[in-house]
């Protein structure tokens, strides 16, 4: 079995690359994140899951006391 850490970024599916880019963008909990076609080029199922993930992160970060 190959570890995900050993896989080169270029060989990852586009959906994984998009999720990784989003994860890196929110790593330090910025107050604003610009998303430029985050689901461009991915299949409908991956697109739906990605938007659900973005929504979940937004809900967590928008809790009272976090957006100051």
Q: What is the pLDDT of residues 6-34, one digit of tens each?
A: 778 888 888 888 888 888 998 888 888 89
Q: What is the domain partition of the chain in residue ranges?
A: 4-61
Query: Average pLDDT, stretch 29-41?
Result: 87
Q: What's the rounded Cα separation, in Å, for the pair 35 and 25?
A: 9
Whether 58 shows a pLDDT value over 90: the answer reads no
Where helices occur in 1-68 by DSSP H, the ranges are: 14-26, 44-61
pLDDT recorded at residue 4: 66
Q: Is 11 helix (H, G, I), strand (E, B) or coil?
A: helix
């Amino acid at each position: 079995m190959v570890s995900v850490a050993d896989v080169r970024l270029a060989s990852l599916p586009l959906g994984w690359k998009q999720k990784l880019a989003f994860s890196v963008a929110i790593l330090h909990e910025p107050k604003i994140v610009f998303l430029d076609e985050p689901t461009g080029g991915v299949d409908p199922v991956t697109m739906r899951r990605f938007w659900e993930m973005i929504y979940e992160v937004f809900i967590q970060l928008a809790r009272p006391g976090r957006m100051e």
